């Protein structure tokens, strides 16, 4: 569910396997934590437009994962004035009771069925033009399914909805899937040709200005979260030593927690960071980092950060970024020659 009131009400009603993402931004870190306890998820976000968009994003994030995912769609509630308003789990249980919620829970759709229903609801399927548009959009969804059996089953259902033959729908799904594979291959090839781009955060606002230093800074954060006993009593680095303002700020927050006798953990950062920043820090902390040779690794990371900080003070450019720019310039020259 979305919020804390939903969870309190659900637990009071006897549904003690309920958790909240605290808002509609389900994160990779939350999914990783959930995987420790279950392989079955039911998404029950609010039934307003924001909740539906969040459900779609969560399904995209969970697509191809080890989870079996279903969606519980809560009906809108009619007020005394006759107006239809949104409901969350808290509202529904208070108004309809636990038994009614359990009936909905047992009839929840799987993720693909939910997304197919959302797409079908956008089109007037009595119109030939709208049926063609529906077929194009639903083919994009079905082409993204990794399992061939699933693609065939849901393609047959979509064909029935569009009132076309299953063969025609299958041909369209296969065509879109082949296009997607070719596009993904081109993207992967570009990444392989430009390895420096793979080291950058996805969000442009978080891009690193000094890749060599930033990679070492990421390593320091991972070690601090894995085993802060590797660190001396006094901070080995200052926030100003970090080339990335975000990584420097996170180091300061984690070190402050350590000084105050609290365990340095990722969830403690949520109140201080934006959703994009939190997602990035979560992702970099999920990369492998061994504490077996932690002291040696920490020493290397600190040395790199200090070296790069000294270079910045002297005005020297980051060699990795300079190489990436040189590669781009060379590509441009070759293109002009052609």
Distance CA 184, CA 144 (A): 12
Predicted confidence (pLDDT) per residue in 4-27, tens digit:
899 999 999 999 999 998 865 688
Q: What is the average pLDDT value for the chain, to the nearest integer? A: 84
* pLDDT reported for residue 143: 92
The helix/strand/coil state of 302 is helix
* CB proximity list for 70: less than 8 A, separation 6 or greater: 40, 41, 42, 43, 108, 109, 110, 111
Sheet holding 109-110, edge to edge: 40-43, 68-71, 109-110
pLDDT at 328 over 60: no
**Is it true that domain 205-333 has CATH number 1.10.3720.10?**
no
pLDDT at 310 over 60: yes
* pLDDT reported for residue 136: 93
* pLDDT reported for residue 131: 94
Distance CA 123, CA 125 (A): 6
Tokens of 12: 């009071």
Predicted confidence (pLDDT) per residue in 192-240, tens digit:
555 555 566 777 777 888 888 999 999 999 999 888 888 999 999 999 9
CATH topology of domain 4-115: Dna Topoisomerase Vi A Subunit; Chain: A, domain 2 (3.40.1360)
Predicted confidence (pLDDT) per residue in 55-64, tens digit:
888 888 887 6
Distance CA 140, CA 173 (A): 7
């Amino acid at each position: 569910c979305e919020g804390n009131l939903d969870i309190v009400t659900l637990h009071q009603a006897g549904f003690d396997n309920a958790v909240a993402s605290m808002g509609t931004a389900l994160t990779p870190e939350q999914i990783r934590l959930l995987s420790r306890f279950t392989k079955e998820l039911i998404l029950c976000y609010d039934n307003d437009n924001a909740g539906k968009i969040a459900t779609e994003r969560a399904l995209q994030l969970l697509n191809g994962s080890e989870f079996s995912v279903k969606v519980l769609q809560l009906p809108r509630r009619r007020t005394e004035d006759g107006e239809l308003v949104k409901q969350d789990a808290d509202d529904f249980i208070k108004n309809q009771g636990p038994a009614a919620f359990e009936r909905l829970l047992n009839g929840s759709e799987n993720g693909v069925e939910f997304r197919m229903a959302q797409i079908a609801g956008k089109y007037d399927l009595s119109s030939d033009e709208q049926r063609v548009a529906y077929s194009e959009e639903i083919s994009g969804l079905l082409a993204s399914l990794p399992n061939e059996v699933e693609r065939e089953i849901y393609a047959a259902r979509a064909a029935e909805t569009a009132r076309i033959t299953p063969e025609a729908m299958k041909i369209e799904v296969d065509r879109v899937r082949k296009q997607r594979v070719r596009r993904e291959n081109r993207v992967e090839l570009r990444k392989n040709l430009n390895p420096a781009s793979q080291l950058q955060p996805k969000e442009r606002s978080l891009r690193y200005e000094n890749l060599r230093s930033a990679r070492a800074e990421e390593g320091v954060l991972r070690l601090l979260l894995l085993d802060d006993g590797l660190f001396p009593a006094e901070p080995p680095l200052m926030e100003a030593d970090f080339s990335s303002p975000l990584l420097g700020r996170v180091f300061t927050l984690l070190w402050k927690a350590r000084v105050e006798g609290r365990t340095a953990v990722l969830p403690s950062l949520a109140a201080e960071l934006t959703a994009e920043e939190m997602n990035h820090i979560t992702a970099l902390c999920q990369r492998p980092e061994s504490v077996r040779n932690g002291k040696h690794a920490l020493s290397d990371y600190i040395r790199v950060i200090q070296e790069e900080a000294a270079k910045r003070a002297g005005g020297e450019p980051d060699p990795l970024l300079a190489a990436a720019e040189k590669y781009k310039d060379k590509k441009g020259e070759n293109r002009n020659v052609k």
